[in-house]
Amino acid sequence: MGVRFDAVSKRFGDVVALADFSLEVEDGEFMVLLGPSGCGKTTALRILAGLEEPSGGDVYIDGRDVTILAPQDRDIAMVFQNYALYPHMSVYDNIAFGLRMRHIPRHELDRLVRDAASMLGLQDLLKRKPGQLSGGQRQRVALGRAIVRRPKAFLMDEPLSNLDAKLRAQTRIELIRLHRTLRTTAVYVTHDQVEAMTMGQRIAVMERGMLQQVGSPQDIYDRPANLFVAEFIGTPSMSFFRGPLRASGDQVAIDTPSISFALGPVQAAVARTAGVGEAIVGVRPEHIEWAATYGERAAAAAFDAQVDVVELLGNEIHATLLVDSRSIVARLDADQLVKPGSTERFTIAPAHLLLFDPATGRRLG
Amino acid sequence: MTVAAARARRRSRQLRQLVAAAPFVLPSLALFCLFVFYPLLRSIWLGFHATDPFGRREVWVGIDQYRDVLTSSDFRHSLLVTGQFALYTVIGSTGLGLYLALLVHRRLPGIILFRTVFTSTVASSVAVSSVMWLLLLNPGVGVLNYVLGQGGVPGANWLTDPKWALPAIAMTTVWMNVGLATIVILAGLQNIPEELYESARVDGAGPWSQFVHVTLPALSPTLLFVSTVGVIFAFQSFGQIDILTKGGPLDSTTVIVYSIYREAFLHYNVGLASAQAVVLFVIVLLLTLVQFVAAQRWVFYR
């Protein structure tokens, strides 16, 4: 019972919200649509729900073309950002509403509602009105309303964004468990990469109405398809250095204004086959190391930097470094307490360097 | 500091606050006293006295006039007429207001024009509207009978036939009130979050179910307000009755307010009119209370 977008596009007047969007979500998969606000992820979800009509392309649910079907005929359930609970109905009636609309016999309806409520720990709240519930409880009622119908797919539009940080972390885990139990196809929209990385079996990264990359969380983190994905995923963000390629014998180097990189054999081969004269090097904060601890052996690059700001997070340190007036962030171990204001030597290991084509923005290799 | 001193300090602070607040409250308090509280008390007082033909207070008659009012068949008749009138106008203006508000709630090009047209009756005075309807309802040259005639339906002597006079006035009044009802209901509709409808659609609700399960409950406080105000308007209506029928024919449009007016300013029986006015006041008060009690049960406030 998968879900498929086939070249779906959506225009609002002159604004293109979604362009040639194709994506296949496998049966039982938890797919996250991730991107900054205005990237088209919510539009894609609403088109899947039938709340929005696509300007072009087709949508399939469980192999059936549902492009022109009304939401009620698609057998999907949706969890809204503000929960959209019916304020005058009790928790019980809220959960039962979808079943009542489908004329489920009363005794079966009662059993289904109580099953769903107990799965979410709502048994004692069934008589309450939404106004008497906390944010987290409302959120669970919204989930209950979705799961009680056993739909073909769950659509969720930033369902955790109204919760505080602690509750969000808890609910994330509950959602993962719930999905493991129900094994229902889920399409989950968020701008929060932590949610995406932790919950998604696969992530579809979107920007400006276009799909940038689809892959497992690890894939997207380690092998971002382009500069946008590389920068968007990961906190603190990746640093980028641009410079011309210089080959001498087997060795390939990239000389950027601030740092010179000597590529390892794999990246050197990649750079050679790509046949570009210039490249952008991407470095994740955790791959910048303090030379005082690890020394400079086998480093792709070594440079002096002035330590600007040091943020101690308890388990790790984010150090903002000034390299020729550019500021980049390094993630250090908690015991590597560099002093703000001091000048230190840092190295970058060759294995993790990512190379991008400056002309297209695509990753090389 | 002793307890007594603290109390004295607090009292002086309260006094100072009162002095500061008084200039802000006084103007409206004065107006209320002059035009609401004094006439109200004066009416109750006059109700206990018989008056001479010039409206001067003569003799104390105790509750006699109140008893007369409550037992007279004329008063009961005008109470019945008022009740019917209220029923017609409240159902008419709330129902039509809801219908019009739903029509113009959608976002369509040019909808502002229709919103303006549907709500424009707010801006027309009772006198102007009444004169306009006097012409429309005229059996000989009125548009209403002409249109009905074109459709093959025989017209009526709207304002001179006892069967039709009250419905005709109610229709006029609905026309005058529906603008306000539409505005208020439209505002209520626009406060309902779009997500509720989307959620209902995904849950499988069609347009009718959405209306019953989302729109009506969310709109219930607004509808209560519109109908309460409608009842009060109905019990206070005077202008259109005075201009269109003067309470006739055969007292078929003599609502309580018109009866009070006739008693006081045509028969100069101010005492009896005052007694009627006080009874009317009590009835409207009770009705409003009943509506608010009913609201506790039926109306959902978020």
- Burial of B207 from C-beta contacts in 10 A (0-12 / 13-18 / 19+): exposed
Q: Tell me, what's the pLDDT at B153?
A: 77
Per residue of chain B (302 residues), what is the pLDDT tens digit?
A: 577 888 888 888 888 988 888 899 999 999 998 998 888 888 888 878 777 766 666 777 777 777 777 778 788 888 888 888 999 999 999 999 999 999 888 878 888 888 888 888 888 888 888 888 888 877 777 777 778 878 777 777 777 777 788 888 888 889 988 888 999 999 999 889 989 999 999 988 888 999 999 999 889 888 888 888 888 888 888 888 888 787 778 877 888 888 888 877 887 777 788 888 888 888 888 888 888 787 777 666 65
Chain B, window 193-252: residues with a beta carbon less than 8 angstroms from a chain A beta carbon: 193, 195-196, 198-206, 209, 213-214, 217-218, 220
Q: Amino acid letter at A228?
A: F
Average pLDDT, chain A: 89
Taken as a whole, chain A contains a residue count of: 365
Question: What's the structural domain count of chain A?
Answer: 2
Other Cβ atoms less than 10 A from the Cβ of A100: the count is: 16
Mean pLDDT in residue range A233-254: 87
- Cis amide linkage into residue B221, ω under 30° from 0: no
Residues B119 and B23 in one domain: no
pLDDT at A1 over 70: no
E strand segments, B145-276? none
Query: Distance between CA A142 and CA A130 in Å, rounded?
Result: 10
Contact B189, B98 (CB under 8 A): no
Q: Tell me, what's the pLDDT at B275?
A: 82
Q: The domain that contains A124 carries what CATH number? A: 3.40.50.300
Residue A362, domain member (yes or no): no
Q: Tell me, what's the pLDDT at B107?
A: 79
Contact A213, A226 (CB under 8 A): yes
Contact B90, B80 (CB under 8 A): no
Contact A301, A259 (CB under 8 A): yes
CB-CB: which of B195, B209, B218 is closest to A82? Answer: B195
Q: How many CB pairs under 8 A join A and B?
A: 65
Q: Tell me, what's the pLDDT at B239?
A: 82
Could you give the angle at which helices A91-101 and A106-119 cross, rounded to 10 degrees? 130
B299 touches chain A (CB under 8 A): no
Backbone phi and psi for residue B155, each to the nearest 5 degrees, phi listed first: -75, -175
Residues B192 and B226 in one domain: yes
Residue B260, domain member (yes or no): yes
Query: Distance between CA B228 and CA A11 in Å, rounded?
Result: 46
A84 touches chain B (CB under 8 A): yes
Mean pLDDT in residue range A305-322: 92
Q: Tell me, what's the pLDDT at A55?
A: 92
Tokens of A265: 């054999």
Residue A365, domain member (yes or no): no
The pLDDT-based confidence of A23 (bands split at 50, 70, 90) is: very high
Residues B249 and B110 in one domain: yes
Residue B271, domain member (yes or no): yes
Residues A350 and A250 in one domain: yes
CB-CB: which of B201, B214, B220 is closest to A86? Answer: B214
> How, if at all, do strands B57-60 and A3-12 pair?
unpaired
Complex ipTM > 0.95 = no
- Regarding predicted confidence, which is higher, B166 or A321? A321
Which of A232, A266, A281 is the C-terminal boundary of a domain? A232
- Burial of A108 from C-beta contacts in 10 A (0-12 / 13-18 / 19+): exposed
Residues A76 and A144 in one domain: yes
Contact B255, B82 (CB under 8 A): yes
The sheet that has A56-61: what strands, in order across it? A15-25, A3-12, A56-61, A64-65
Residues B16 and B103 in one domain: no
**Is 0.90 topped by the overall pTM?**
no
> How, if at all, do strands A354-356 and A251-255 pair?
unpaired
With residue A346 as reference, give the H or E element that holds it: strand A343-348
Buried b (16+ CB within 10 A) or exposed e, B256-289: bbbbbbbbbeeeebbbbbbbbbbbbeeebeebee
Q: Amino acid letter at B73?
A: S
Picking from A208, A255, A199, the residue whose alpha carbon sits closest to that of residue A229 is A208
List of chain A residues whose C-beta atoms are within 8 Å of the C-beta of residue B204? 72, 98, 101-102
Contact A118, A178 (CB under 8 A): no
- Nearest C-alpha in A relative to B213: A86
A132 touches chain B (CB under 8 A): no
Picking from A4, A15, A21, the residue whose alpha carbon sits closest to that of residue A205 is A21
Residues B34 and B97 in one domain: no
- For A294, the domain range is 239-356
Query: Distance between CA B249 and CA B165 in Å, rounded?
Result: 7
Residues A61 and A210 in one domain: yes
SS3 A192: coil
CB-CB: which of B198, B218, B220 is closest to A84? Answer: B198
Contact B129, B175 (CB under 8 A): yes
Tokens of B168: 């005709």
Residues A209 and A248 in one domain: no
CB-CB: which of A76, A82, A102 is closest to B202? Answer: A76
CB contact under 8 A, A84 and B196: yes
Residues A142 and A262 in one domain: no
Q: Which residues are within 8 A (CB) of B73 and not within 5 positions of it... i.e. 6 or more apart?
A: none
- Nearest C-alpha in B relative to A130: B302
A97 touches chain B (CB under 8 A): yes
- Cis amide linkage into residue A151, ω under 30° from 0: no
B57 touches chain A (CB under 8 A): no
Contact A179, A30 (CB under 8 A): yes
Q: Tell me, what's the pLDDT at A111?
A: 92
- For B40, the domain range is 3-47
Buried b (16+ CB within 10 A) or exposed e, A322-353: ebeeeebbbbbeeebebeeeeebebbbbbebb
Q: Tell me, what's the pLDDT at A207?
A: 92
